């Protein structure tokens, strides 16, 4: 069912002093909850009257500003709204508590959730359309003190779903390594990263790197609304362990299995055992590749077993891309080049636009030079900065001996493996991002 809420409702009484431009504004069009529930608007008429239009306005403004996430955080009698644009939070507005509650309950209703349930977390979503683009909104509510709720809304533009290795920024070397190890039909390959770092996207891109025409790939994980081409989905039988599910897939002649996130010691141990039967690809929470290896060994409790079966660990940091319309070229100081490790022959780098004080005092000039593409932020979109650690013989020996993350990083650096630092500097030299953005990403806590 498609709800006809793409524009202002005919029965909504506009304030007399409202701008005419606002009357013609196109709002987001809700096209049904992901769980198939049909919102009962008649039974929630008062909520619809109070919250529908403000909810549409909020989501519309967020999509207009390219926000991938909205956060509504109650703060006493008011609520602070923040838009996350390219991973960076920007204050959006302060709402009266009652208005924030109406928006929260309205969005829960539209996403197939119970708006009256405020005592426990809920998760849902809806398909929406805005300016002829399709989006999936996913909402997560959580109770806070005072009877209010925190609401997080994530928006995914369906034209920008990243799944292929090239979409994520895999180098030819990394793709070749994944194909090499999975062709052996055994061993464990991990994507590592903290929450909201795109680790699931990386793990899926690793699975998509496998030659699907040569090898049989099975997904044993719940991928939600993702449908991976050339990957056979196999549901886990109730009561089955991961090992049993892998065995079932192997009986169907699976060469490579994409498994659920390895969050427990039991799953980690079963993945090592299962990787003796076929190649496994999964994800693991850690701040980088070396940290993932050290943490995985601690979780399993047997570094020698990890050393025997682990083949490759890939990790990603997301970095903002300079806006191609307004980025500024500048000649870098030789001392700066030496400090960050860039070649001394580097003649030009790029950064977000900067203006002198005289320009800033000229309002007409200010209005003229605001970039419409990025909204004056200087960045538009993000790209992956990827590193990987291949378990070579020296690294395998170090893992078996219980090496810590720092020791593993040093070994990987000595073997010239692709690192965050080397990839970040490459993006800077290529003009894709700035040194300031690299510093921000490396300063941030995972």
Predicted confidence (pLDDT) at residue 164 exceeds the cutoff of 90: no
Give the C-alpha separation, 264 to 301, whole Å: 12
* Cα dihedral 135, 140, 145, 146 sign: positive
User: Are both 20-159 and 165-317+387-415 of the same fold?
Assistant: no
3 forms bridges with which residues in the sheet?
none
The tokens for 37 are 């529930």
The tokens for 3 are 């709800």
Q: Which of 442, 437, 412, 182 is nearest to 327 (CA)?
A: 437
Phi and psi torsions of 399, nearest 5°: -60, -45
What's the pLDDT at 146?
A: 83
Do the beta carbons of residue 338 and residue 344 sit within 8 Å?
yes
Predicted confidence (pLDDT) at residue 426 exceeds the cutoff of 70: yes
Predicted confidence (pLDDT) at residue 46 exceeds the cutoff of 50: yes
Rg of the chain taking only CA atoms, in angstroms: 25
The three-class DSSP label of residue 97 is helix
Q: Residue 268's Cα: distance from chain center in Å? A: 23
Lowest mean pLDDT, pick from 31-40, 361-370, 420-429: 361-370
Give the C-alpha separation, 210 to 318, whole Å: 23
The three-class DSSP label of residue 364 is helix
Phi and psi torsions of 205, nearest 5°: -65, -35
> For domain 20-159, which CATH number applies: 3.30.450.90, 3.20.20.140, 3.10.28.10, 3.30.70.2740?
3.30.450.90
Each residue's pLDDT tens digit, 98-143 = 999 999 999 999 999 999 999 999 999 999 999 999 999 999 999 9
For the chain, give the mean pLDDT.
89
Across residues 158-169, what is the average pLDDT? 84
Q: Which residues have a Cβ under 8 Å from the Cβ of 407 and sit 6 or more positions away? A: 398
Across residues 391-414, what is the average pLDDT? 97
Q: Which residues have a Cβ under 8 Å from the Cβ of 350 and sit 6 or more positions away? A: 322, 327, 328, 329, 330, 431, 434
The tokens for 46 are 């008062």
Neighbours of 394 (CB within 10 A): 12
Give the C-alpha separation, 391 to 293, whole Å: 10
Give the C-alpha separation, 376 to 140, whole Å: 30
Phi-psi region of 113 (alpha: psi -120 to 50; beta: other; left: phi over 0): beta
What's the pLDDT at 143?
A: 96
93 forms bridges with which residues in the sheet?
81
CATH class of domain segment(s) 165-317+387-415 = alpha beta
| CA 415 vs CA 250, 266, 409, 418: distances in Å | 35, 32, 10, 9
| CA 138 vs CA 8, 120, 123, 155, 281: distances in Å | 23, 17, 7, 7, 26
- Please tell me the pTM assigned to this model: 0.83
Give the C-alpha separation, 315 to 309, whole Å: 18
Give the C-alpha separation, 346 to 353, whole Å: 20
Neighbours of 325 (CB within 10 A): 11
Q: Which residues have a Cβ under 8 Å from the Cβ of 358 and sit 6 or more positions away? A: none
Each residue's pLDDT tens digit, 5-32 = 333 334 334 444 444 445 567 899 999 9
Predicted confidence (pLDDT) at residue 196 exceeds the cutoff of 80: no
pLDDT band at 83 (very low <50, low <70, confident <90, very high): very high
Give the C-alpha separation, 370 to 47, whole Å: 38
Give the C-alpha separation, 312 to 442, whole Å: 23
Predicted confidence (pLDDT) at residue 370 exceeds the cutoff of 80: yes
Share of the chain above pLDDT 90, in %: 78
Do the beta carbons of residue 139 and residue 125 sit within 8 Å?
yes
Predicted confidence (pLDDT) at residue 198 exceeds the cutoff of 90: no
Each residue's pLDDT tens digit, 268-306 = 999 999 999 999 999 999 999 999 999 999 999 999 999
Q: Greater confidence, 365 or 87?
A: 87
The tokens for 47 are 């909520």
Predicted confidence (pLDDT) at residue 357 exceeds the cutoff of 60: no
What's the pLDDT at 2?
A: 34
Tokens 């929470």 sit at which residue? 285
Residue ranges of domains in the chain: 20-159, 165-317+387-415
Alpha-helical regions (H) of 65-160 = 97-110
Do the beta carbons of residue 276 and residue 311 sit within 8 Å?
no
Give the C-alpha separation, 314 to 193, whole Å: 9
Do the beta carbons of residue 323 and residue 86 sit within 8 Å?
no
The tokens for 288 are 């980088």
320 forms bridges with which residues in the sheet?
382
Give the C-alpha separation, 169 to 356, whole Å: 36
Do the beta carbons of residue 386 and residue 168 sit within 8 Å?
yes
Predicted confidence (pLDDT) at residue 360 exceeds the cutoff of 80: no
What's the pLDDT at 150?
A: 97
Each residue's pLDDT tens digit, 334-348 = 999 999 999 999 999
Please name the helix (run of DSSP H) or strand (run of DSSP E) that holds residue 81, with its range, or none.
strand 78-85
């Amino acid at each position: 069912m498609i709800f006809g809420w793409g524009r202002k409702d005919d029965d909504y009484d506009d304030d007399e002093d409202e701008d005419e431009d606002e009357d013609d504004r196109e709002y987001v069009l809700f096209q049904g909850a992901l769980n198939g529930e049909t919102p009962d608007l008649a039974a929630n008429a008062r909520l619809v009257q109070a919250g529908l239009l403000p909810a549409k306005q909020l989501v519309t403004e967020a999509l207009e500003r390219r926000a991938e996430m909205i956060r509504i955080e109650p703060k006493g009698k008011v609520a602070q709204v923040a838009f996350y644009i390219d991973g960076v939070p920007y204050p959006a507005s302060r709402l009266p508590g009652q208005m924030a509650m109406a928006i929260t309950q309205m969005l829960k209703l539209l996403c197939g959730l119970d708006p009256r349930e405020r005592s426990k977390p809920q998760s849902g979503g809806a398909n929406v359309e805005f300016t002829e683009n399709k989006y999936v909104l996913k909402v997560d509510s959580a109770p806070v003190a005072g009877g209010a709720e925190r609401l997080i809304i994530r928006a995914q533009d369906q034209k920008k779903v990243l799944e292929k290795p090239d979409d994520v920024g895999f180098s030819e070397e990394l793709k070749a390594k994944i194909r090499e190890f999975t062709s052996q039909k055994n061993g464990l390959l991990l994507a590592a990263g903290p929450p909201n770092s795109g680790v699931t996207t990386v793990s899926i891109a690793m699975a998509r790197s496998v030659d699907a025409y040569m090898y049989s790939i099975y997904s044993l994980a719940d991928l939600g609304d993702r449908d991976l081409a050339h990957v056979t989905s196999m549901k886990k039988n109730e009561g089955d362990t991961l090992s049993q599910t892998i065995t079932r897939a192997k009986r169907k002649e699976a060469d490579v299995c994409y498994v659920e996130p390895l969050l427990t010691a039991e799953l980690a141990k079963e993945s090592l055992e299962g990787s003796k039967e076929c190649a496994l690809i999964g994800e693991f929470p850690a701040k980088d590749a070396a940290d993932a290896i050290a943490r995985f060994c601690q979780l399993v409790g047997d570094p020698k077993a990890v050393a025997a079966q682990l083949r490759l660990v890939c990790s990603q940091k997301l970095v903002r891309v300079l806006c191609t319309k307004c980025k500024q070229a500048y000649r870098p100081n030789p001392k700066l080049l030496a400090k960050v490790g860039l070649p001394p022959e580097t003649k030009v780098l790029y950064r977000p636009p900067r203006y002198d004080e005289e320009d800033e005092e000229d309002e007409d000039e200010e209005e003229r030079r605001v970039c419409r593409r990025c909204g004056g932020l200087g960045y538009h979109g993000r790209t992956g900065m990827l590193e990987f650690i291949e378990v070579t013989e020296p690294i395998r020996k170090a893992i078996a001996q219980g090496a810590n993350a720092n020791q593993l990083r040093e070994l990987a650096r000595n073997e010239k493996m692709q690192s965050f630092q080397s990839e970040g500097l490459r993006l800077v030299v290529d003009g894709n991002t700035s040194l300031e953005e690299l510093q921000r990403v490396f300063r941030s806590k995972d």
